[in-house]
């Protein structure tokens, strides 16, 4: 007797595509193919794809902002919207607050998430200030407890780390077996360009893109990879927007470095021209790195097809356009410099990749699964419990109907934002049914979730474990 049998779907994993039934019991996958008759519930998936639930390994929820600004998705609304878009696990960030124990801050995030999440969640740690205590004790202990990835920033005054601090953080990651994610943009070059633009009175949202050109991303990507080579650690280069930064990843791999590349829907679908809209409307498209041009979009598609990118995430970082707290559209607008950097995309990530990628023949369905789920689980220590359709894996599944056609409107996405950058986009294919650990949480496109999401302590990334276990190489 099964809890659920999913009948006759086209099962796709990162390696195989086949038609079979799947039997679920006690939240797990217990049978694939073969005879299955009795179940409390039957789901007919004829003509549909049955895929591992999406894993979005780069989202921002309830992250504190400078005074007067508020992120508009909390763990409830953000994970609700994630579920609508076919995701069953999301990985938000816990931002270290200077002068406070990281574990204390982390406990606050857990309190905000507890009992409110529609998907499973697992935190990355953003490192904004290094101390001997943090590097010597706190981080290694947190890694042991399943927080196995750190993000560092090369941009944003007050958040960025200097190169020596990045080296020390990488060294800590090496010693503790964590994986470092790097935001690559050269802060000093950006500040120089912002100063010049402001002096010239060029302060509209479009200037956000021109003050963060591809070359500041390329330089920082090169530097991050060089620093990683000094310490001999694998790294993730997050939110890559253009060919020049991609070339840095390729070159690092040619020298033998382990590097994971990530890109996001905004770099496939938007351009810098979107920031050049009247009445401050361009503020809706401000994110960092900024969207580039059509050639960069093509480069990013090529990277997804050919493997420069292993991971495709949303970088969901939502602010409301018309809202006192959003400050995307503040009264007395002064400079693009004050527009918070980030756009929503947690629900649209997978429909965009499915429609523009799979349905238009740019990638096959197995590559879709790898980019949207399996590689995230493998990179961040959740595999094979997550990101796979195998016996014993969590029954996190999304059933995609390739026949559904939709015109995207923000209200359907159920996030806390007041717009989507993809308003009016026509998509083909939609995740009509989603299961989280064996429970139907989206049924015929409708949310029926009871907020069963739990926190996932993660294993070390296999990439980092290899270095961690290799004690023959001295640490710096």
Shortest distance in whole angstroms from residue 92 CB to Zn ion: 9
**From the CB of 60, what's the least distance to ligand DUC, in Å?**
6
| Site for ligand DUC, residues 181 to 200, rule: CB under 6 A | 183
**What is the nearest approach in angstroms of Zn ion to the Cβ of residue 58?**
5
Partner interacting with residue 467 (select from ligand DUC, Zn ion, none; CB below 5-8 Å by kind):
none
**Closer CB to ligand DUC, 288 or 432, in the complex:** 288
Q: Which is nearer to ligand DUC, 342 or 431 (CB)?
A: 342
Minimum distance from residue 264 beta carbon to ligand DUC (Å): 9
What track of x and - describes contact with ligand DUC for positions 219 through 238 (by CB under 6 A)? -------------------x
Q: In the range 53-72, which residues lie near ligand DUC by CB under 6 A?
A: 60
Residues 381-420 that bind ligand DUC (CB under 6 A): none
SS (H, E, C) the chain: CEEEEEEEEEEECCCCEEEEEEEEECCEEEEECCCCCCEEEEEECCCCEEEECEEEEEECCCCCCCCCCCCCCCHHHHHHHHHHCCEEEEEEEEECCCCCCHHHHHHHHHHHHCCCCCCEECCEEECCCCCHHHHHHHHHHHHHCCCCEEEEECCCCCCCCCHHHHHHHHHHHHHHCCEEEEECCCHHHHHHHHHHHHHCCCCCCHHHHHCCCHHHHHHHHHHHHHHHHHHCCCEEECCCCCHHHHHHHHHHHHCCCCEEEEECCHHHHCCHHHHCCCCCHHHHHCCCCCCCCHHHHHHHHHHHHHCCCCEECCCECCCCCCCCCCCCCCCCCCCHHHCCCCECCCCCHHHHHHHHHHCCCCCCHHHHHHHHHHHHHHHCCCCCCCCCCCCCCECCEEEEEEEEEEECCHHHHCCCCCCCCCCCCEEEEEEEEEEECCEEEEECCEECCCCCCCECCCCCCHHHHHHHHCCCCCCC
Q: Does 327 bind ligand DUC (CB under 6 A)?
A: no
Tokens of 196: 């010049």
- Token pair listed for 216: 């500041």
- The Cα 346–Cα 364 span in angstroms is 22
Partner touching 341 among ligand DUC, Zn ion, none, CB below 5 to 8 Å by kind = ligand DUC
Nearest residue (CB) to ligand DUC, 309 versus 468: 309
Binding to Zn ion, residues 220-279 (CB under 5 A): none
Q: List, as own/partner pairs, every contact residues 33-40 make where C-beta atoms lie below 8 angstroms and the sequence separation is at least 24, other chains included.
A: 36/2, 36/5, 38/1, 38/2, 39/1, 39/2, 39/3, 39/4, 39/5, 40/1, 40/2, 40/3, 40/4
User: Closer to Zn ion at the Cβ: 159 or 233?
Assistant: 159
Least distance (Å) between residue 122 CB and ligand DUC: 16
Residue 288 contacts ligand DUC per CB under 6 A:
yes
One residue of 21, 120, 315, 394 binding Zn ion per CB under 5 A: 315
All residues at 6 or more sequence positions from 16 whose CB lies less than 8 Å from its CB, including other chains: 366
State which of residues 31, 335, 341, 390 lies at the interface with ligand DUC (CB under 6 A).
341
Cα angle for residues 50, 53, 54 (degrees, 5° grid):
125
Q: Which of 126, 166, 299, 317 binds ligand DUC (CB under 6 A)?
A: 317
Among 315, 356, 394, 396, binds ligand DUC (CB under 6 A): 315
Residue 284 binds to Zn ion (criterion: CB under 5 A): no
210 binds, among ligand DUC, Zn ion, none (CB under 5 to 8 A by kind): none
Q: Which segment (134-142, 206-214, 276-284, 307-315) binds Zn ion by CB under 5 A?
A: 307-315
Q: Counting contacts by CB under 5 A, is residue 56 touching Zn ion?
A: no
Q: Which of 48, 183, 208, 349 binds Zn ion (CB under 5 A)?
A: 183
Q: Least CB distance from residue 267 to Zn ion, whole Å?
A: 13
Residue 8 interface partner, choices Zn ion, ligand DUC, none, CB cut-off 5-8 Å depending on type: none
Q: Does 342 bind ligand DUC (CB under 6 A)?
A: yes
Total interface residues for Zn ion by CB under 5 A: 2
Compute the distance between CA of residue 433 and CA of residue 447 in angstroms, rounded to an integer. 9
Closest separation in Å from C-beta 139 to Zn ion: 19
Beta strands 54-59 and 39-44 are unpaired
**Shortest-Cβ-distance residue relative to Zn ion:** 183
Q: If we measure between CA atoms, which residue out of 134, 143, 219 comes closest to residue 180? A: 143
- Give the one entry of Zn ion, ligand DUC, none that residue 271 binds, where binding means its C-beta sits below a cut-off of 5 to 8 angstroms depending on kind: none
Among 239, 378, 458, 460, binds ligand DUC (CB under 6 A): 239
Total interface residues for ligand DUC by CB under 6 A:
9
In the complex, minimum distance from the CB of residue 262 to Zn ion, in angstroms, rounded to a whole number: 10
Q: Which does 77 bind (CB under 5 to 8 A by kind): Zn ion, ligand DUC, none?
A: none
Residues in the site for ligand DUC, rule: CB under 6 A? 60, 183, 238-239, 288, 315, 317, 341-342
Residues in the site for Zn ion, rule: CB under 5 A? 183, 315
């Amino acid at each position: 007797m099964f809890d659920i049998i999913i009948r006759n779907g086209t099962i796709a994993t990162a390696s195989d595509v086949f038609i079979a039934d799947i039997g679920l019991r006690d939240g797990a996958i217990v049978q694939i193919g073969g005879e299955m008759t009795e179940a409390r519930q039957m789901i007919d998936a004829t003509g549909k794809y049955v895929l591992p639930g999406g894993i979005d390994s780069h989202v921002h929820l309830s992250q504190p902002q400078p005074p007067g600004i508020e992120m508009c998705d909390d763990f409830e609304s953000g994970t609700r919207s994630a579920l609508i878009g076919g995701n069953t696990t999301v990985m938000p960030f816990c931002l270290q607050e200077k002068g406070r124990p990281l574990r204390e801050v982390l406990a606050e995030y857990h309190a905000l998430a507890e009992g409110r999440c529609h998907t499973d969640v697992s935190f990355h740690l953003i490192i904004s200030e290094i101390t001997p205590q943090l590097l010597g004790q706190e981080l290694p202990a947190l890694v042991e407890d399943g927080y196995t990835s750190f993000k560092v920033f090369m941009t944003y005054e007050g958040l960025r780390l200097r190169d020596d601090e990045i080296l020390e953080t990488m060294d800590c990651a090496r010693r503790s077996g964590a994986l470092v994610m790097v935001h690559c943009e050269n802060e000093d070059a950006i500040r120089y360009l912002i100063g010049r633009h402001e002096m010239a009175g060029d302060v509209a949202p479009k200037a956000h893109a021109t003050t963060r050109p591809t070359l500041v991303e390329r330089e920082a990507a090169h530097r991050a990879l060089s620093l990683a080579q000094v310490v001999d650690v694998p790294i993730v280069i997050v939110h890559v927007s253009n060919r020049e930064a991609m070339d840095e990843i390729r070159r690092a791999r040619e020298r033998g470095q382990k590097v994971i590349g990530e890109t996001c829907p905004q770099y496939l679908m938007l351009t810098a021209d979107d920031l050049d809209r009247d009445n401050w409307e361009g503020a809706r498209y401000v994110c960092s790195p900024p969207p580039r041009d059509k050639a960069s979009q093509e480069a990013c598609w090529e990277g997804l097809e050919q493997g420069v990118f292993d991971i495709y995430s949303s970088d969901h970082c939502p602010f409301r356009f018309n809202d006192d707290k959003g400050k995307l559209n503040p009264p007395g607008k002064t400079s693009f410099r004050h527009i918070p950097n980030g756009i929503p995309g947690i629900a649209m990530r997978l429909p965009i990749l499915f429609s523009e990628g799979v349905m238009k023949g740019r990638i096959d369905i197995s590559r879709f699964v790898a980019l949207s789920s399996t590689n995230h689980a493998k990179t961040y220590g959740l595999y094979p419990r997550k990101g796979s359709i195998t016996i014993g894996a969590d029954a996190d599944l999304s059933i995609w109907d390739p026949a559904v056609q939709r015109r995207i409107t923000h209200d359907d996405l159920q996030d806390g934002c007041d717009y989507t950058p993809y308003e009016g986009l026509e998509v083909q294919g939609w995740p009509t049914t989603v299961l989280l650990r064996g429970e139907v949480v989206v049924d015929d496109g409708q949310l029926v979730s009871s907020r069963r999401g739990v926190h996932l302590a993660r294993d070390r990334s296999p990439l980092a474990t290899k270095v961690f276990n290799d004690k023959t190489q001295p640490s710096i």
